[in-house]
Amino acid sequence: MYFRVQELTAFYGKSQILHGINLEVDQGEIVTLMGRNGVGKSTTLRSIMGIVRSASGVISFKDKKIQAFKTHHIPRLGIGYVPEDRRVFPRLTVRENLLMGKMAMKVRSARQHVWDLDRIFSTFPILKERENQKGATLSGGEQQILTIARTLMGNPELILVDEPTEGLAPLTIKTVVQSLCDINQHGVSILLVEQNMNVALALAKRAYVMNKGQIVFSGTSRQLQEADDIRRRYLEV
């Protein structure tokens, strides 16, 4: 399996947040991790990136166990992270924000595609238009696209995306969703945490549902759409 998490546990202080998480992402897939607020979805992504240190379990990427790696090493393996709070540098221009993403670059072979400024501006024309604007002057949707694009500048093969449509207007959501589709079509696998069920299931081939730090459902997006009881108990308000 391309990417796999096995029996992952994690704590905040003495409070256990993750209770034996198991999930997989195959090469080229979009997989979504869903659940209500506070069930451990973001902690799962942060544990994969080493921001929250896992207490036990195995995280494997391309047959390499990475759970003991330090956070700054993980992007160089080919895993990118798009945090929920975006973390755009407000005083830097769009161009400067993008160049910051190169600091975590994974070196690729000559046969592999490389995300550079030209390719980013071609894929996301709005960023070309805003190239010399400060990050603080961008709209919420533009900041989200900038954060995704900055992550791509590290040349990831897999990206972990945390709540990319939260707080965005419907038209902006469509833009972000299309951006994720375009990225996936360029060969980047995606593990997506997304509160909007319609968005998540439209993007993802497979879905996991979390509750209280555990996986309570694993299956295809179609199977989740048909699992009325699971949706009522763990997803719908």
Share of the chain residues as helix, strand and coil, in percent rounded to the nearest 5: 40, 25, 35
Show the CA angle centred on residue 33, arms to residues 31 and 35, nearest 5°.
150
pLDDT band at 113 (very low <50, low <70, confident <90, very high): low
The CA distance from 150 to 101, in Å, is 5
173-219 pLDDT, tens per residue? Answer: 999 999 999 999 999 999 999 999 999 999 999 999 999 999 999 99
* Phi, then psi, of 209 in degrees rounded to 5: -120, 135
pLDDT band at 82 (very low <50, low <70, confident <90, very high): very high
Using the predicted structure, report yes or no on whether residue 222 has a pLDDT greater than 60. Answer: yes
Q: What is the pLDDT of residue 160?
A: 98
Buried/exposed code over 184-222 (b: 16+ C-beta within 10 A; e: otherwise): beeebbbbbbbebbebbbebbbbbbbbbebebebeeebe
Using the predicted structure, report yes or no on whether residue 109 has a pLDDT greater than 80. Answer: no
Q: What is the pLDDT of residue 143?
A: 94
pLDDT band at 107 (very low <50, low <70, confident <90, very high): low
116-129 pLDDT, tens per residue? Answer: 999 999 999 999 99
pLDDT band at 104 (very low <50, low <70, confident <90, very high): low
Q: What is the DSSP letter of 134?
A: B
124-164 pLDDT, tens per residue? Answer: 999 999 999 999 999 999 999 999 999 999 999 999 999 99
Give the position of tokens 């509750």: 211
The CA distance from 153 to 114, in Å, is 8
Domain boundaries, the chain: 3-85+154-234
Q: What is the DSSP string of 43-96?
A: HHHHHHTTSS-EEEEEEEETTEE-TTS-GGGHHHHTEEEE-TT----TTSBHHH
- For residues 234 and 209, the answer to whether their CB atoms sit within 8 Å is yes
CATH of span 3-85+154-234: 3.40.50.300
Using the predicted structure, report yes or no on whether residue 114 has a pLDDT greater than 90. Answer: no
Closest CA to 126 of 138, 109, 114: 138
Whether the CA torsion 113, 74, 41, 44 is positive or negative: it is positive
- For residues 20 and 57, the answer to whether their CB atoms sit within 8 Å is yes
